[in-house]
């Protein structure tokens, strides 16, 4: 193996310091994972918000991207826990572009996602898999990453009620719902969606926590300053459980 | 071409007993019987029994007096019919489509097919030989019309061929009127009138002045008989091809078809894949010549032992890419049981659509960047089923779960009436609404707290109600209205819940609450 092409340890250490913090409008990585509870719509909602954010940035340049379909793959347990997408509740721009795949098993869902990533006519593939199925191990996730990178189609994998196990995703988020900002006319009503987002592993950005708000024209993010002594250095995830290690830097 | 299995029931019985014709259990007189209201009646009798005097349709008691040693077995008409259907399917090896001719015959369309077998004589010889190896005694005949072929198979010498140039009437004149496929009572009438052969009937029809004046006389005699099998005139016309005779093929008639007859039966997957890819390339050429692409493909595999396996594929968009077809079929061939081998394969495009030629090098460049949407959808539906890959479309309904329909991904969207913009709908809808227990201040008021799936949610913000009345033109009168609320709890979880009914609407007791959707 030729080790000269690999980055040196000093470079790796320095890169994290040089890497800018994540902010809305950053390029959507080709494979991201979003961990969310199954009893909330936060995972799927944030996935669509990220997707729209990315489409808005590239949308003007490549207008044909606007009309490419979105493949939404769910396995049977995800459908049972969280329901199916509802057309009238989808963002206006995505309503007519959604193709839904209801896979029976996680294996079928992985197959459908991989086939979707191979398809040049899709804008993005959104996956929803519940729990930590045996089929979705590191090999499978690496396979998805490689396929996504080969064909340049993004994959947003929403993991419902799942532990953060070994994965090769480029960005890993943990999302829960957050109280929404009161709407202008009826302050007693729920407003536009907001989420508490924790980026706990990313290749290009240091970890951090944000409150994301899905504004009409953009995705707003409000950084939550890290609190407590443990948050000062960014290599805090070394002390997490052994399964929580991410190989995103591979 | 008509194939008549003269002894279908007995041939099946011999096959189940495992004995040859005239040997073993078949050597003694034997009859297959059905129980009727008047006692057992003979359905079929073997050669020895016929020699002793038993005949089809005879009561068993009469046959016993003629031949006391006769043995009986119950007959199996349902099994015979099922076998006949399989036989009709199998007989499609000789032509593009075949029809059952109950109780014991098969009709095969061999128009412009005979040359594939080396002529009509050889085709009939092939039929005879193949059926003999399966232990079926058959008589086959070829004629321009189904009626004539049937008549020749049943009442002419075996292997009769009536060419398209020959005079139908002259060739068939010597056959008995029973060759017209008439009911028994009509045959009795004709016999009493002295009309025994087709020639007699044709002579009457022409009349003395040879201008067809006799036709009216027959028409008057049978004026109340509308069914073809009760009216000799209609049957005669069908026989001579003057009126069409619709036949119901066992497999619907279709278009492009390619086939490979194999010298050696194949039993291995690798060889099968090779032949399938050859067929796909043949099919691609055929389709290209027609300027069409296949939407549905049927692959038939004829096994040596007479079974036919059929595998079907349906594609999201018309295609004639042989690699694509082979890849899709590869998934479907995993469960093939080749038995003693597969001797013939046929690929049919059961449904094809116009598809223009496209520039191949552009497609090749695109190939490196991934598959097209249609190809992707095909692969998904082939593995997951058509129900699994769908696109949500709006439907005209107020009830939320009914306002969304699903349709195949590449079909055009139906016209829709726009939703009102102020109706906020959830991102995800549960498969069915889940019952929740709710704490409220007033029964018609806002919910204060509810528990769902074991979690308690304190309602922090709420908007509602949005009242959706039941669709009275579709639902029963006892259906209750729904009051929908958008709620958000203190942790920020946003849900769509409804109260099914009002306490005072007189359609049941206190209304239940349900959670139906999740907001982003």
Dihedrals phi, psi of B434, to nearest 5 degrees: -105, 135
Q: What pLDDT is attached to residue B367?
A: 53
Residue B196 domain flag = yes
Cβ–Cβ gap A45/B520 under 8 Å: yes
Cβ–Cβ gap B461/A188 under 8 Å: yes
> How is residue A177 annotated by DSSP?
E
Cβ–Cβ gap A83/B429 under 8 Å: yes
Please identify every stretch of chain A with a pLDDT value under 50, giving residue numbers as ranges: 60-62, 228-243, 246, 248-250
Domain with B293 in it: what CATH number? 3.30.1490.100
Residue B143 domain flag = yes
A88 → closest Cβ in B373, B419, B461: B419
Token couple for B373: 């949407």
Residues B395 and B507 both lie in one domain: yes
Domains plus CATH for chain A?
32-225 (3.40.50.300)
Residues B321 and B396 both lie in one domain: no
Residue B114 domain flag = yes
Q: What pLDDT is attached to residue A250?
A: 45
- Distances in Å between the Cα of A102 and the Cα atoms of B33, B388, B391 are 54, 5, 11
Residue B385 domain flag = no
Cβ–Cβ gap A39/B453 under 8 Å: yes
Residues B224 and B270 both lie in one domain: no
Cβ–Cβ gap B392/A87 under 8 Å: yes
Token couple for B175: 């056959």
Q: What pLDDT is attached to residue A144?
A: 93
Number of domains in chain B: 3
Q: What pLDDT is attached to residue A229?
A: 45
Report the residue of B427, B432, B497 to disrupt the A interface, i.e. the one with the largest count of A CBs within 10 Å: B427
Asked if residue B215 has pLDDT above 60, the reply is yes
Residue B96: which of B412, B281, B308, B347 has the closest Cα? B347
Residues B109 and B225 both lie in one domain: yes
Q: Using a CB-CB distance cutoff of 8 angstroms, which residues of chain B are in contact with residue A153?
A: 370
Residues B219 and B115 both lie in one domain: yes
Report the residue of A37, A45, A87 to disrupt the B interface, i.e. the one with the largest count of B CBs within 10 Å: A87
What count of CB pairs under 8 Å joins A to B? 179
Is residue A248 classed as helix, strand or coil in its secondary structure? coil
> How is residue B305 annotated by DSSP?
T
Residues B267 and B413 both lie in one domain: no
Cβ–Cβ gap A41/B488 under 8 Å: no
d(CA B458, CA B491): 9
- Distances in Å between the Cα of B457 and the Cα atoms of A227, B491, B495 are 27, 8, 10
Q: What pLDDT is attached to residue A227?
A: 60
What angle, rounded to 10 degrees, do the helices at A138-151 and A106-117 form?
Answer: 20
pLDDT tens-digit profile of B12-28? 888 888 888 777 778 88
- By C-alpha distance, the chain A residue nearest B382 is A112
Cβ–Cβ gap B406/A100 under 8 Å: yes
Percent of chain B at pLDDT exceeding 70 = 95
Could you report the predicted ipTM of this complex, rounded to two decimals? 0.83
Token couple for B424: 């906020």
Count Cα neighbours of A177 within 13 Å in the Cβ-side half-sphere. Answer: 28
Residue B251 domain flag = no
Q: Write b or e for each residue in A16-26: b if 16 or more Cβ atoms lie within 10 A of its Cβ, otherwise e.
A: eeeeeebebeb
Residue B392: which of A97, A112, A125, A74 has the closest Cα? A97
Residues B86 and B192 both lie in one domain: yes
- By C-alpha distance, the chain A residue nearest B519 is A41
B371 → closest Cβ in A45, A96, A119: A119
Q: Using a CB-CB distance cutoff of 8 angstroms, which residues of chain A are in contact with residue B419?
A: 88
Report the residue of A73, A190, A194, A212 to disrupt the B interface, i.e. the one with the largest count of B CBs within 10 Å: A190
Count Cα neighbours of A106 within 13 Å in the Cβ-side half-sphere. Answer: 18
Residue A93: which of A121, A120, A53 has the closest Cα? A53
Q: What pLDDT is attached to residue B396?
A: 85
Q: What pLDDT is attached to residue B252?
A: 64
The residue that leads in pLDDT, B357 or B94, is: B94
B369 → closest Cβ in A88, A89, A151: A151
pLDDT tens-digit profile of B240-285? 888 888 888 777 655 688 888 988 899 888 999 999 999 999 999 9
Q: What pLDDT is attached to residue B366?
A: 52
Torsion, Cα B361 B365 B368 B373, to 10 degrees, reads: -90
Last residue of a domain, one of B344, B362, B380: B362
Q: What pLDDT is attached to residue A249?
A: 44
Torsion, Cα A134 A136 A140 A146, to 10 degrees, reads: -170
Q: What pLDDT is attached to residue A239?
A: 44
Residues B91 and B222 both lie in one domain: yes
Q: What pLDDT is attached to residue B279?
A: 92
Residues B331 and B448 both lie in one domain: no
Q: Write b or e for each residue in B18-42: b if 16 or more Cβ atoms lie within 10 A of its Cβ, otherwise e.
A: eeebeeeebeebbbbbeeeeeebbb
Q: Using a CB-CB distance cutoff of 8 angstroms, which residues of chain B are in contact with residue A122?
A: 373, 376
H helices of A73-137, where? Answer: 76-82, 106-117
Q: What pLDDT is attached to residue B226?
A: 80
- By C-alpha distance, the chain B residue nearest A103 is B388
Nearest CA of chain A to the CA of B377: how many Å?
A: 9
Residues B409 and B308 both lie in one domain: no
- Distances in Å between the Cα of A245 and the Cα atoms of A167, A201, B41 are 8, 9, 82
Task: Decide: B303 and B326 in contact? Cβ < 8 Å.
Answer: no
Residues B262 and B229 both lie in one domain: no
Nearest CA of chain A to the CA of B424: how many Å?
A: 7
Is residue A46 classed as helix, strand or coil in its secondary structure? helix
Cβ–Cβ gap B376/A80 under 8 Å: no
Q: Which domain holds residue B285?
A: 257-362
Cβ–Cβ gap B493/A89 under 8 Å: no
DSSP for B325-357, written as a single string: HHHHHHHHTTT---TT-EEEEEEEEEEEEE---
Cβ–Cβ gap B376/A100 under 8 Å: no
pLDDT tens-digit profile of B451-479? 999 889 999 999 988 999 999 898 888 88
Q: Using a CB-CB distance cutoff of 8 angstroms, which residues of chain B are in contact with residue A195?
A: 492
Report the residue of A121, A130, A194, A222 to disrupt the B interface, i.e. the one with the largest count of B CBs within 10 Å: A121
pTM above 0.80, yes or no: no
A214 → closest Cβ in B376, B387, B520: B520
Residues B229 and B332 both lie in one domain: no
d(CA B103, CA B89): 15
Question: CB atoms < 10 A from the CB of B304, how many?
Answer: 15
Last residue of a domain, one of B240, B269, B299: B240
Strands A154-160 and A122-130: parallel
Residue B71 domain flag = no
Nearest CA of chain A to the CA of B459: how many Å?
A: 10
Asked if residue B402 has pLDDT above 80, the reply is yes
pLDDT tens-digit profile of B108-122? 988 888 888 888 889
Residue B37 domain flag = no
Percent of chain B at pLDDT exceeding 90 = 20
Report the residue of A34, A38, A41, A213 to disrupt the B interface, i.e. the one with the largest count of B CBs within 10 Å: A41
User: CB within 8 A of A219, min separation 6: which ones?
Assistant: A24, A25, A49, A50, A52, A53, A212, A213
Residue B25 domain flag = no
pLDDT tens-digit profile of B475-505? 888 889 999 999 999 888 999 999 998 888 8
Q: What pLDDT is attached to residue A4?
A: 61
């Amino acid at each position: 193996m030729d080790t000269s092409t690999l980055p040196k340890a000093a470079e790796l250490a320095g890169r994290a310091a040089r890497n800018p913090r994540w902010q809305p409008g950053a390029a959507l990585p080709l494979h991201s994972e979003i961990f969310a509870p199954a009893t909330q719509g936060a995972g799927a909602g944030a996935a669509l918000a990220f997707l729209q954010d990315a489409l808005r940035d590239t949308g003007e340049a490549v207008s044909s991207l606007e009309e490419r379909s979105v493949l939404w793959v769910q396995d049977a347990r995800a459908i049972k826990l969280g329901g199916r997408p509802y057309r009238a509740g989808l963002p206006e721009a995505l309503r007519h572009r959604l193709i839904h795949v209801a896979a029976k098993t996680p294996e079928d869902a992985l197959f459908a996602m991989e086939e979707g990533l191979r398809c040049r006519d899709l804008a993005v593939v959104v996956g929803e898999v519940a729990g930590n199925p045996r089929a979705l191990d590191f090999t499978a996730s690496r396979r998805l990453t490689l396929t996504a990178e080969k064909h340049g189609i993004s994959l947003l994998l929403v993991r419902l009620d799942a532990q953060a196990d070994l994965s090769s995703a480029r960005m890993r988020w943990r999302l829960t719902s957050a109280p929404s900002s009161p709407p202008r006319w009826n302050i007693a009503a729920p407003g536009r969606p907001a989420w508490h987002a924790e980026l706990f592993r990313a290749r290009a950005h240091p970890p951090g926590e944000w409150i994301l708000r899905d504004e009409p024209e953009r995705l707003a993010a409000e950084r939550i300053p890290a609190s407590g002594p443990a948050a000062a250095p960014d290599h805090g995830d070394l002390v997490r459980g052994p399964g929580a290690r991410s190989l995103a830097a591979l | 071409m008509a194939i008549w299995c003269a002894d279908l029931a007995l041939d099946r019985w011999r096959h189940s007993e495992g004995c040859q014709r005239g040997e073993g259990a078949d050597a003694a007189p034997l009859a297959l019987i059905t129980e009727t209201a008047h006692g057992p009646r003979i359905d079929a009798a073997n050669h020895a029994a016929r020699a002793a005097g038993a005949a089809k349709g005879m009561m068993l008691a009469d046959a016993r007096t003629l031949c006391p040693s006769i043995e009986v077995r119950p007959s199996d008409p349902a099994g015979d019919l099922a076998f006949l259907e399989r036989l009709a399917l199998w007989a499609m090896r000789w032509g593009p489509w075949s029809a059952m001719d109950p109780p014991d015959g098969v009709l095969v369309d061999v128009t412009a097919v005979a040359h594939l077998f080396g002529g009509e004589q050889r085709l009939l010889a092939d039929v005879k030989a193949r059926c003999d190896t399966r232990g079926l005694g058959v008589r086959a005949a070829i004629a321009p019309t189904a009626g004539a072929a049937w008549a020749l198979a049943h009442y002419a010498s075996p292997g009769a061929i009536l060419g398209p140039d020959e005079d139908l009437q002259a060739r068939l004149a010597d056959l008995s009127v029973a060759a017209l496929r008439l009911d028994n009572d009509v045959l009795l009438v004709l016999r009493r009138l002295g009309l025994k052969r087709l020639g007699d009937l044709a002579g009457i029809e022409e009349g003395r002045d040879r201008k067809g004046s006799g036709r009216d006389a027959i028409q008057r005699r049978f004026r109340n008989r509308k069914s073809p099998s009760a009216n000799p005139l209609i049957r005669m016309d069908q026989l001579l091809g003057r009126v069409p005779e619709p036949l119901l093929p066992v497999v619907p008639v279709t278009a492009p078809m390619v086939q490979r007859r194999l010298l050696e039966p194949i039993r291995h997957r690798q060889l099968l894949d090779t032949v399938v890819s050859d067929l796909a390339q043949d099919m691609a050429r055929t389709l290209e010549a027609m300027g069409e692409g296949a939407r549905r493909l049927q692959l038939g595999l004829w096994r040596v032992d007479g079974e036919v396996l059929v595998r079907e594929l349906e594609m999201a968009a018309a295609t004639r890419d042989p690699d694509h077809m082979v890849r899709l079929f590869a998934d479907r061939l995993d469960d093939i049981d080749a038995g003693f081998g597969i001797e013939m394969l046929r690929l049919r495009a059961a449904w094809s659509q116009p598809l223009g030629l496209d520039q191949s090098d552009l497609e090749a460049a695109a190939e490196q960047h991934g598959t097209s949407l249609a190809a992707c959808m095909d692969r998904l539906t082939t593995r997951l089923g058509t129900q699994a890959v769908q696109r949500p479309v709006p439907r005209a309904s107020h009830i939320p779960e009914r306002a969304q329909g699903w349709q195949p991904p590449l079909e055009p969207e139906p016209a829709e009436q726009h939703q009102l913009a102020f109706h906020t709908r959830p991102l995800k809808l549960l498969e069915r609404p889940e019952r929740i227990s709710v704490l409220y201040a007033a029964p018609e008021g806002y919910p204060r707290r509810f528990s769902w799936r074991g979690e308690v949610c304190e309602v922090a913000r709420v908007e509602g109600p949005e009242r959706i009345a039941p669709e009275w033109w579709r639902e029963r009168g006892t259906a209750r209205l729904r009051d929908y609320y958008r709620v958000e709890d203190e942790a920020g979880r946003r849900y769509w819940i409804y109260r099914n009914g009002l306490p005072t609407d007189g359609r049941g007791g206190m209304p239940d609450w349900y959670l139906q959707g999740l907001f982003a």
